[in-house]
A and B are shown apart, each in its own frame.
Chain A
Amino acid sequence: MTTTAPQVAATREAFGPTLVRLAEAGHDIVVLEGDLSASTGGKKLAAAFPERWYTVGAAEANMVSMAAGLAAAGKTVFAASFAVFLPGHCFDQVRMSVAQPHLNVKLIASHAGVSVGEDGASAQAIEDLSLVTALPGFRVLVPADAVEAAQAIWAAGTTAGPFYVRLGRPKVPVIYDERYRFEVGRADRLRDGDDVTVIACGHLVGVAIAAADALAAKGISVRVLNMSTLVPLDDEAILAAARETGAIVTAEEHLVQGGLGAAVARTLALAHPTPMEQVGVRDRYGESGRWDQVMERFGFTAAGVERAVRAVLQRKAAR
């Protein structure tokens, strides 16, 4: 008998292979890279389709407006870098060259969040979702694992209009198998439960599942929603969770303002005010360390989510 270790993969690992599949399927894609193509994984396309792949140097502003020019001429354009640089280095180009004219550009932002680890604060994007969710017409995807990331990138590449896809650096547990079907704008219910709902995105989805399973053993029934699309938000799933479980925890590798938690809070406040807690970064920047240690420092662990669940359950009980 053999035992298999839990399968792990980084969400960024889905980028290169999905580009190759898109090109092989005949999609008229062009990929621009900002001198980080080995890290984003996009360079895989260069071997098979060299004419569709350009590295344009560490010049993100130029890269994004170039992407707009290619898109205006009919191409489906991917522009890839680290999330601190894209949109961090070029927000005005994203706004004026892509969002306002609503061009067919897909921003692939790798190495998002504090799980970058050793590179520290300058490399750890914790504000990117605030920026891109502020752009009219932009769809924003934060896949939870490599399987969902491949499908999210495919969806971005086969759906007209601007997209932002947030990917991560470290290898994390694979949640889904190939039967999973990602759909833009639809939350996926990974655990059912009645007492409380954890709504998570990205790396925090796997963490939320671990927390839910630990809490189940302690008699607390936790629903887990993977909210991998931040825009457009699945308000229906959020409001159903609010009505049916009466308490909400959001979890994201991002500042508590401007990202998933803020969006969920808005939906709840407008339609169904509900006790809510947030797991996220509060008024500070990241720091260096092994990625799992940094995640622990920020409370991005099953224990951290569990604390938030207990806090929101107290508020629910006090109502």
Chain B
Amino acid sequence: MTSVADKTDLLALTKRIRRHIVEMTAAAQSGHPGGSLSAVEILTALYFGGVLNYDAARPDWPHRDRFVLSKGHATPLMYAVLAEAGYFSTELLATFRKLDSPLQGHTVRGRPPGVEMSAGALGMGLSFCIGQALAARLDGRDWRCYCLLGDGELNEGQNWEAAMSAAHFGLDRITVIVDRNHFQNDGPEAEILRLGDVTDKFRSFGWHAVPVDDGHDLDQVLAAFAETAEVRDRPQVIVAETVKGRGVSFMEANPAAWHGKGPSPEQLAQALAEIGA
């Protein structure tokens, strides 16, 4: 089943998810808020906009669509979305990164339910999706694979092995979303390892590429998902222009500083005030 919230509800969800992200990273005094906040609208559209076919009560339902978080450090976002989707209680979010919590610092397959694959070493998620999609095709199933990649993550050569491979096998049930926030751990992507035109790159690998000018505009993101669903015989990529730390002014102003740390209590108060309820 897919979950379709109306537009007002989707906006409210993005705010709740942003609150969870800053609260979790503040409580853990670690974690990755910047690259979680940049992809809030992408995952909100996917999980609550009628795109992903899933049943939170049956995380192992064989016919579910798979969502694979390849940028495995964006766990604050992943867990916030899974909690809002009903995989587990939002109360559990307070245990993020604490000893004995199922909410591990980087994703671990099946822990908590709804996490499809372990990640945290970058660049492996798309390859995993290729295996999943081949298995579905072998078994005559029609479920799809969605994969969120960071743009910094595209430094990893395995992504380009996988990009060739998915196109070679004509896997049209793979949809990748690139969270194009232009920042990575050490700083701006343009200074660390210039990525160039991501849309062109994927097109040259044989993909159907959909650029999204504003990855924080739910309508644009939903329209991109609708377009990719119609594509046959080739994988699709949505290249969504986003802002690292989106919704929290001091993170947006200094994204490199907010790749991997939690806000102080004062900063949390400011962040929550800016996000609103």
Contact = CB atoms under 8 A, between A and B. Distances in A.
Interface string A39-70: 00000000000011010110101111111111
A195 B210 CA distance: 73
Given A72-B128, A72-B132, A62 B162 contact: yes
Interface stretch (B85-93, B111-119, B189-197): B111-119
B24 to A, nearest CB: 23
A25 interface: no
B138 A51 contact: yes
Contacts of B165: 56-57, 59, 62, 66
B251 interface: no
B154 to A, nearest CB: 14
A97 interface: yes
Contact of B131 (A72, A95, A100): A72
A69 B138 CA distance: 13
B127 A73 contact: no
Interface in B74-132: 108-110, 116-121, 123-125, 127-132
Contact of B134 (A62, A66, A92, A97): A66
A57 B120 contact: no
Contact of A96 (B120, B131, B132): B120
Interface residues of B, number: 33
A295 interface: no
A166 to B, nearest CB: 23
A101 B104 CA distance: 14
B158 interface: yes
A270 to B, nearest CB: 29
Interface in A133-148: none
A92 B168 CA distance: 24
A97 B135 contact: no
Contacts of B256: none
B112 to A, nearest CB: 14
17 contacts: A59-B158, A59-B161, A61-B124, A62-B158, A62-B161, A64-B127, A65-B125, A66-B128, A69-B129, A70-B132, A70-B134, A70-B135, A93-B124, A93-B158, A97-B117, A97-B118, A101-B118
Closest 8 CB pairs of A and B: A69-B131, A65-B127, A73-B135, A62-B161, A59-B161, A70-B131, A66-B131, A101-B109
Interface of A: 30, 51-52, 54, 56-57, 59, 61-75, 77, 92-93, 95-97, 100-101
